[in-house]
């Protein structure tokens, strides 16, 4: 029987929502530049399904630059309360402008303003400079909806491999690896 890694992900994610003290959707995002130098940071999962796993960020950030040079990524969820991890790997594409606009519109107004005020990953001389920029954008958009900054984008990691790791006694852990070949997913096990 064909296995469905997305249903399994949904089940684990639902359990994590119940048990994690905060941010069950927090995931480590690993990218690498054209020379293969890796970097990793946390982002929040904002959409997922067979088409991919979506997060939002500033395309001028360090990660945005790396994804422009080398559009592949790895994601890692570690749900400590469940002693489980999920690893996802694959190419990365941008979400459409419409999808990004729709998600941006659901954010709190101050988060929207923050997206304009933050020059993400660039050097900042003082906290006061950032607060001043925030005040300026607040004044600029007074009385109007805050549009999505053009550099604030969604990225979708299109999975080719998804591994579910589950703690078992005596480190005899369980690893289920799903791999995609075209449209077809197959499942196997890995030694822990």
Ligand X SMILES: Cc1cc2nc3c(=O)[nH]c(=O)nc-3n(C[C@H](O)[C@H](O)[C@H](O)COP(=O)(O)O)c2cc1C
Give contact residues for ligand X (rule: CB under 6 A).
23, 26, 39, 41-44, 55-57, 61-63, 120-121
Element holding 2 (H helix, E strand): none
Distance, in Å, from the CA atom of 75 to the CA atom of 31, rounded to the nearest integer, reads 9
Catalytic residue among 7, 171, 176, 184: 171
Question: Least distance (Å) from ligand X to the CB of residue 179?
Answer: 27
171 a catalytic residue = yes
- Residue number, 65 or 91, with CB nearest to ligand X: 65
Question: Least distance (Å) from ligand X to the CB of residue 23?
Answer: 5
Distance, in Å, from the CA atom of 72 to the CA atom of 92, rounded to the nearest integer, reads 5
Question: Least distance (Å) from ligand X to the CB of residue 117?
Answer: 14
Distance, in Å, from the CA atom of 25 to the CA atom of 13, rounded to the nearest integer, reads 8
3-state secondary structure 16-44: HHHHCCCCCCEEEEEEECCCCCEEEEEEE
- Residue number, 12 or 118, with CB nearest to ligand X: 118
- Residue number, 44 or 177, with CB nearest to ligand X: 44
Catalytic residues: 171
């Amino acid at each position: 029987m064909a296995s469905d890694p997305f249903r399994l992900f949904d089940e684990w994610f639902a359990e994590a929502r119940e048990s994690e003290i905060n941010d069950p959707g927090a995931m480590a995002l690993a990218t690498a530049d054209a020379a293969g130098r890796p970097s990793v940071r946390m982002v929040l999962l904002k959409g997922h399904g067979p088409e991919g796993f979506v997060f939002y960020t500033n395309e001028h950030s360090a990660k945005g630059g790396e994804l422009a040079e080398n559009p592949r990524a790895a994601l890692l969820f570690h749900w400590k309360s469940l002693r489980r991890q999920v690893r996802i790997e694959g190419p990365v594409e941008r979400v459409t402008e419409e999808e990004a606009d729709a998600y941006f519109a659901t954010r709190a107004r101050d988060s929207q303003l923050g997206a304009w005020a933050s020059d993400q990953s660039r050097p900042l001389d003082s906290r006061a400079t950032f607060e001043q920029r925030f005040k300026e954008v607040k004044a600029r958009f007074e009385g109007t909806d805050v549009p999505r900054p053009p550099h604030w984008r969604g990225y979708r990691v299109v999975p080719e491999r998804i591994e579910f790791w589950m703690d078992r006694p005596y480190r005899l852990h369980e690893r289920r690896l799903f791999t995609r070949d075209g449209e077809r997913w197959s499942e196997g096990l890995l030694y822990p």
